[in-house]
Chain A
Amino acid sequence: MARNPQLNRHGELIHLLSIEGLPAAVLRQILDTAGTFLSVNDREVKKVPLLRGKSIFNLFFENSTRTRTTFEIAAKRLSADVINLDIARSSTAKGESLLDTIANLSAMHADMFVVRHSESGAPYLIAQHCAPHVHVINAGDGRHSHPTQGLLDMYTIRDYKKDFSNLSVAIVGDIVHSRVARSDIHALTTLGVAEIRAVGPKTLVPADLKDMGVRVCHDLAEGIRDADVVIMLRLQNERMSGGMLPSAAEYFKTFGLTPEKLALAKPDAIVMHPGPINRGVEIDSLVADGAQSVILPQVTYGIAVRMAVMSIIAGNVA
């Protein structure tokens, strides 16, 4: 049986491409290490020398200021040198293939690539073709995977709820198009959560999602009743124009998280969102800014988690 390409022959993490196939012990190592870096980020001197002299290339073929910025902050706090590649204006626009781009960057002695791409599997292709000492982190590929988001979501849940085994987690929104939802579902399953519910309209949450081990609900009230954790996903405008939903207002009426709907979950339930939020579309401002919202802590944890991933993989040999 082929070894998971993310792990070396000692079972240590050398690339982070997806949550799928990673043992629970590896996920926990990342979460524990992230806790360390959280305290580093609280110090006066928010820098440790672990990746000093390493060159980390941010290859974002899909636009993202938020995720790219948090990766850059994480790398700099580890003392690495960060190079942001503006792909739209780069050689890709001139027709250069992905592997040629990687080969050229490797000739510039890149140590790590952080890649976001609209094609699922692009980071795998890169990991297969780069030199043994080079590491790859998937910052989101197509609809497939967004592993660092999944990990920071797990860190958030663990921080507020401690024990996964008793939890009911509801993921609400456009799940079928969401790489975040997939990573969350894989991570929650691996960490042994009691129940996962996928909540949304039939066009966005098809019944065969239950093959991922989740309970499918097309009614928000039923879906978040007594939930411990509610993860809201952003509703993308394309869904409306693509005919999958009538309108944003209609979506908000049936699946928007308002204080009244949130009251159906457990009283100490936490509300999460990968961001950016669409106020009045998937989530009411009162909830986004309310006491149960942990949306901003997620951002803080995201930096610590990315520092953890980078430092763990940089310290392991292929």
Chain B
Amino acid sequence: MPEPANEPPPDRTKMGLHRSAEHGGLPDERPPGDAEGGSHRSAKHGSYPVTMPQLDAEALYVDLASAVRGLAQPDAALVGIWSGGAWLAERLQRDLQLGSAHGVVSSALHRDDFASRGLTGGADHTQLPFEVNGRHIVLVDDVLYTGRTIRAAINELYDFGRPASVALVVLVDRGGRELPIAASYAAASVAMPPGQRLRLVRDAAGRFSFDVREAA
């Protein structure tokens, strides 16, 4: 059950659009390196989930929606990165009633790890029901980490045209960037150890939550 914050939310207008891990996210942010259950690293792929009660996906979504409302130009188009970003874009489109239908891009065809991982599924999820040429795009994703997925998603977008601009908004920025990619807005910034995977989950009723587990 999501708990409303007991104190007034941090004044984001003062923090500016570029949030870094320094400014912090939610009140009791987990310090780096402290991974609940991290000492019980299981040999199996995707072992037991770790709870992170302070990452309330629904509450963060509310913050994200109000930020996008302020940030997006009137003729901007929302594009969600499959799959978590696509769910967010779908709900944002509904709640904010932006101009055209939202789009979805898959990063699968432009990934930089094809040689080691082979072809991953989900490559046919790209659906862009509008002209990309000259459009202001707001790219939406659930978690920003190394930045490689964003790079691949932008390349996928470029296969369809030349946007006027691309701004990135995410639910959670977990640091660990390996490319010069930055979000214009992140509803939360948390530090997580590299061995953990953070993922958005959507239940049958459409409610968001986070899944955290040890990576294989």
- In whole angstroms, how far apart are the Cα atoms of A318 and B114 in the complex? 15
The reply to whether A44 and B109 contact each other, CB–CB distance below 8 Å, is no
Q: Which of A35, A43, A44, A315 contacts B118 (CB 8 A)?
A: A315
Instruction: Name the CB-closest residue of B to A308.
Output: B119
Contacts of B160 in A (CB 8 A): 43-45
Does any Cβ of B come within 8 Å of A49's Cβ?
A: yes
Indicate if B126 sits at the interface (CB-CB under 8 A): yes
In the complex, which residue of chain B has the Cβ closest to the Cβ of A46? Answer: B159
B75 an interface residue at 8 Å Cβ cutoff? no
Q: What are the interface flags for B104-146 relative to A under an 8 Å C-beta threshold, 1 for contact and 0 otherwise?
A: 0000111000110111010110100000000000000000000
Query: Smallest CB–CB gap between B177 and chain A, Å?
Result: 22
Residues of A within 8 Å of B, CB-based: how many? 18
From DSSP, what is the main secondary structure of chain B's interface residues? Answer: helix
**Within residues 163 to 188 of chain B, which ones have a CB less than 8 A from any CB in chain A?**
none
Partner of A48, one of B110, B117, B118: B110
Minimum distance in angstroms from B216 CB to a CB of chain A: 15
Asked if B161 lies at the interface with its beta carbon under 8 angstroms from chain A, I say: yes
| Contact residues of A: prevailing secondary structure | helix
Q: Closest B residue to A51 by CB, please name it.
A: B114
A36 surroundings in chain B (CB, below 8 A): 108-109, 123-124
State the CA gap A36–B124 with chains docked (Å).
Answer: 4
User: Which of A12, A40, A312, A316 meets B109, CB within 8 Å?
Assistant: A40
Residues from chain B with a CB closer than 8 A to the CB of A32 are: 121
In angstroms, Cα B114 to Cα A33, docked, is 15
Contacts of A39 in B (CB 8 A): 124, 126
Across the two chains, which residue of chain A brings its CB closest to B156? A48
Total residues of chain B contacting the partner, CB 8 A: 16
A82 contacts B by Cβ under 8 Å: no
A50 at interface, CB cutoff 8 A: yes
Q: Which residues of B contact A44 (CB under 8 A)?
A: 159-161
Residue on A nearest B152 in the bound complex, by CB = A49
Q: Are B161 and A35 in contact (CB under 8 A)?
A: no
A43 contact set on B, CB distance < 8 A: 159-160
**Nearest-neighbor residue (CB-CB) of B133 within chain A:** A44
**Distance to closest chain A CB from B205 (angstroms):** 29
Closest-by-CB residue of A relative to B132 is: A44
Q: Are the CB atoms of B118 and A45 closer together than 8 Å?
A: no
Given contacts A45-B159, A48-B110, are A315 and B117 in contact (CB under 8 A)?
yes
A49 and B110: CB pair below 8 A? yes
Compute how far the CA of A312 lies from the CA of B118 in the bound complex, rounded to whole angstroms: 7
Cβ A33 vs Cβ B119 within 8 A: yes
Q: 8 Å CB contacts to B: which residues of A12-33?
A: 12, 32-33
Q: A12 to chain B: which residues have CB within 8 Å?
A: 118
14 cross-chain CB contacts under 8 A? A32-B121, A36-B108, A36-B109, A39-B124, A44-B160, A45-B159, A48-B109, A48-B159, A49-B110, A50-B114, A50-B119, A315-B118, A315-B119, A316-B118
4 shortest interchain CB distances as A-B pairs: A315-B118, A36-B124, A45-B159, A48-B109
